[in-house]
Copies of this chain bind each other. A is one copy, B any other.
């Protein structure tokens, strides 16, 4: 066995880059490519499928495979686990529980999770530190029916973030990045003037059907989310 699917993947990318296969153009079908390259159709399929998943190719039965008009349109993003993000930079990680109280969710967030006004929720605010410096400020609502055991959990050692990740078999959710000015609370804890432009993340998590948690995280000034293409 000489030809691997990675070989074909690479070869195809070169043809795309060299415009041998131009954007929008139809490329040979799998059977022809297999014959040309001297391998089985399954191997070609594996390579072309990978390219399609990354947005380089568009494939349709009967219509064949075309080079995407705007190639490379998908990227993978590793969802940040705060502790790991910090420790990966060689910094120490710490968190401090700022407040924890039973509190109804504001209507907007409640609607996002699809909860009724009767749902019992707990609000937990946590500050995360990297090498002692403010790193992120988390404002979280937890739906107690969706996270059994949470109410009984002390959050000294394990922060809410990690507890939920480890104890909630969640299936889906949304995550938004947006810019948000620092309010008095963020300014105080992140050590920046009010009104500073901060990167924020809003995340809603559902455990198959029930809402579990909504969290809004403000990152310290200068924070970036990087995608490698």
Contacts and interface: CB of A to CB of B under 8 A. Distances in A.
A165 interface: yes
Interface in A110-134: none
A174 interface: yes
A72 B178 CA distance: 22
B75 A172 contact: no
Contacts of A71: 165, 169-170
A223 B169 contact: no
Q: Give the interface centre of A18, A225, A229 by most chain B CB atoms within 10 Å.
A: A229
Contact of A23 (B70, B78, B166): B166
Contacts of A222: 178
B69 A79 contact: no
Contact of A79 (B72, B179, B223): B72
Contact of A166 (B70, B165, B171): B70
B225 A176 contact: yes
Contact of A178 (B76, B79, B174, B223): B223
Contact of A199 (B174, B177, B208): B177
Interface of A: 13, 16-19, 23, 55, 69-79, 81, 165-166, 169-181, 195-200, 208, 222-229
A159 to B, nearest CB: 13
Contacts of A165: 70-71
B175 A197 contact: no
26 contacts: A17-B171, A17-B208, A18-B169, A23-B166, A70-B81, A70-B166, A71-B165, A71-B170, A72-B79, A72-B170, A73-B78, A73-B81, A74-B76, A74-B79, A75-B76, A174-B228, A174-B229, A176-B226, A177-B177, A178-B222, A178-B224, A179-B180, A179-B197, A179-B198, A179-B199, A195-B195
A76 B177 CA distance: 14
A181 B198 CA distance: 9
Contacts of A195: 195, 197
Among the interface residues A55, A169, A172, A199, which one has the most CB atoms of the partner chain B within 10 A? A169
